[in-house]
Amino acid sequence: MIESADRSMIQHQQLLDLKNTIKKVYHQVPFYQEKFLEHHIAPHDIQTLEDIRKLPFTTKKDLRDQYPFGLFAVKQDELIRLHASSGTSGKPTVVGYTKQDIADWSSIVARAIKTAGGRPGDILQNAYGYGLFTGGLGLHYGGEELGVVVIPISGGNTERQINLIEDLKPTIICSTPSYALNIGEKMRELGLDPRKSSLKIGIFGAEPWSEEMRSKLEELFDIRACDIYGLSEVVGPGVAIECYEAQNGLHIAEDHFFVEVINPETLEPVPEGEEGELVFTSLKKEALPIIRYRSGDIASITTEKCICGRTSARMSRIKGRIDDMLILRGVNVFPSEIEHHLIQIKEIVPHYQIYLHRISSLDEAHLHVEIKEEIYKEVSQNLEHPMIKTLQAEIYRKLKSNCLVSMKIIIHPPKHIPRSEGKAIRIVDQRLQKQNS
């Protein structure tokens, strides 16, 4: 019922849950109690939703500094599961769940799958990674809660993915968009037509992707492709998802999460509809309630009612992460903006990487793309062919004109750029490698 409730009812329930959460972290999490005291805040100071702005932010650094269990609000014997990040840039972030947290999460994801068009009896091929990553188990439990038949194949082993699509006839596939593209290309290599598969719905997330990538995937598989969003620090996948009917913004599970959008520099709220950094506060989490968590993701929010009938706030598709934003000669650009224009160039495939170099104290970006098989044959496998030089110039001009960035364009033969079996690696920072060497 919360999905179609009027805003006053949604906000009333959010305020009740917010007050309970603030009391809980104040009395059960020393980190938050100390933070609140530093800001001269006590639970009774939160009387309206707007009062949340009085509270301090939580960052990924806070989670790492409190590693492993410093932000937990329950004792160990109340936990039933732990997840963690990879920790590639330092200490991993560890998140925990009680039995009720898992039940709530399963319900949230079940609702998300149904929002994207899934129904009990559907077969869902889950190609998100299992293990410490929240994606696989999040979609798995949510699918079972909804009543779909889950194939827990996890990521990778692409030919086996294809065999199961052919044999078990799933109607839904869940993966990163880049890996779904990889699966579709491999099917074509094997002489199969992805459009003739049993798949009807794709639930794709875990990395920013453009509207052009959606069109590419929908055309490749003849499916409806919906964007799902989540982050482990808040719960995992299912925080928000696009509806099957509109595909116009991701419906947020507002009965579980309160979202703000702030200017990442001033930390002040931005008007509805303007882009900024998403900030989440959990409203029902038991093990790891989190207060004003700065996600690092750039998007906007609207509370306009959707044509599907849902009244929940919707977030735009993620434009990018603050730490993925490239600054080239004073110009800010996200990889998703570059992808938007690359996919429109018919001679290349939608796989690319951006290499960052430090040359004579200046940062330079080299864009690596690859041409389609038929173009490669047309130029007789000669990448010095005038047609290739013309293509390089076209890509350079398109990015210079639309993204205001100058990049060296390097064109490769087919199958040169590594294919993703999880999150695509779009940026390769060789400046760091040079410093370390």
For tokens 């937990």, the residue is 72
Q: Strand 250-252 relative to strand 314-315: parallel, antiparallel, unpaired?
A: antiparallel
Q: How far is the C-alpha of 86 from the C-alpha of 66, rounded, in Å?
A: 16
Query: Residue 363 pairs with which residues in a beta bridge?
Result: 358
Supply φ then ψ for residue 204, to 5 degrees.
-120, 140
Q: How far is the C-alpha of 163 from the C-alpha of 263, rounded, in Å?
A: 47
Task: For the beta carbon of residue 150, count every other beta carbon within 10 angstroms.
Answer: 20
Where does 72-128 show beta strands of DSSP type E?
A: 79-84, 94-98, 123-126
Q: In this predicted structure, what is the pLDDT of residue 348?
A: 94
Query: How many CA atoms does the CB half-sphere of 273 hold within 13 Å?
Result: 1
H/E stretch holding 411 reads strand 408-412
- Helix-helix angle 158-168:177-189, to 10 degrees: 80
Q: Strand 149-151 relative to strand 250-252: parallel, antiparallel, unpaired?
A: unpaired
Distances (CA, A) of 156 to 188, 232, 358: 17, 21, 34
Measured in whole angstroms, the distance separating CA 314 from the mean position of its chain's CA atoms is 15
Q: In this predicted structure, what is the pLDDT of residue 24?
A: 98
Q: In this predicted structure, what is the pLDDT of residue 437?
A: 47
Contact 356, 427 (CB under 8 A): yes
Q: How many helices (H) and strands (E) does the chain have?
A: 12, 21
Q: In this predicted structure, what is the pLDDT of residue 327?
A: 80
Ordered per-residue pLDDT tens for the chain, 437 residues: 889 999 999 999 999 999 999 999 999 999 999 999 999 999 999 999 999 999 999 999 999 999 999 999 999 999 999 999 876 556 889 999 999 999 999 999 999 999 999 999 999 999 999 999 999 999 999 999 999 999 999 999 999 999 999 999 999 999 999 999 999 999 999 999 999 999 999 999 999 899 999 999 999 999 999 999 999 999 999 999 999 999 999 999 999 999 999 999 999 999 999 999 999 999 999 999 999 999 999 999 999 999 999 999 999 999 998 988 888 877 888 888 999 999 999 999 999 999 998 876 778 899 999 999 999 999 999 999 999 999 999 999 999 999 888 999 999 999 999 888 888 888 898 876 555 54
Angle (nearest 5°) at CA 138 between 132 and 143: 145
Query: Residue 396 pairs with which residues in a beta bridge?
Result: none
| Domains of the chain, earliest start first | 97-322 (3.40.50.12780), 325-436 (3.30.300.30)
Q: Strand 320-321 relative to strand 348-359: parallel, antiparallel, unpaired?
A: unpaired
Q: In this predicted structure, what is the pLDDT of residue 79?
A: 98
pLDDT (tens digit per residue) in 72-111: 999 999 999 999 987 655 688 999 999 999 999 999 999 9
